[in-house]
């Protein structure tokens, strides 16, 4: 199979296992890997102009930190191993944002780890992986 694989990462062990899976899978076929990191964020907030300015500043800091500490090392690792890879960071609902990125990148598959960074959040709100399976227009591989 050739095509684009969207790899959703979050800096967790589950994301690392998903990365390993994609590297093994892509060695047996040709394709491009798009690595995506989604910073959970909701636009439904009613703030003063000052709060909005502070919120924007924090968003920019989150993007820079995620780029340097999570996304760039994974993309660099893939490129060093000979894979064609790019990265994208966006704010939003993780599953919905990954589906949108997959559509934009014309991905043929989405790969994520089963469990991300917050077990408590997963128990309260459901997992990104299970929501992604329900929403995606392409096959989703959930790596244990």
Enumerate the H helices of the chain as residue ranges: 13-27, 49-66, 72-80, 94-104, 119-125, 128-135
Residue 2 lies in a domain: no
Residue 3 lies in a domain: no
Average pLDDT, the chain: 83
Domain that holds residue 110: 11-143
pLDDT of residue 120: 43
Residue 95 lies in a domain: yes
DSSP code of residue 13: H
Where residue 40 sits, what CATH number does that domain have? 3.40.50.620
Total number of domains in the chain: 1
pLDDT tens digits along 35-60: 999 887 666 656 667 776 777 788 88
Q: Write down the pTM of the prediction.
A: 0.80
């Amino acid at each position: 199979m050739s095509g684009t694989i969207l790899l959703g990462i979050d800096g967790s062990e589950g994301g690392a296992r998903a990365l390993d899976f994609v590297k093994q899978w892509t060695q047996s076929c040709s394709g491009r890997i798009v690595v995506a990191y989604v910073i959970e964020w909701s636009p439904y907030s009613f703030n003063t102009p000052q709060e909005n300015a502070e919120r924007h500043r924090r968003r920019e800091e989150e993007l820079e930190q995620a780029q340097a500490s999570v996304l760039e090392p994974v993309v660099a690792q893939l490129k060093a191993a000979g894979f064609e890879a790019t990265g994208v960071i966006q704010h939003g609902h993780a599953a919905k944002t990954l589906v949108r990125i997959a559509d934009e990148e014309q991905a043929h598959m989405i790969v994520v780890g089963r469990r991300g960074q917050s077990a408590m959040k997963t128990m309260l709100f459901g997992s990104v992986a299970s929501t992604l399976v329900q929403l995606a227009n392409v096959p989703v591989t959930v790596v244990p």
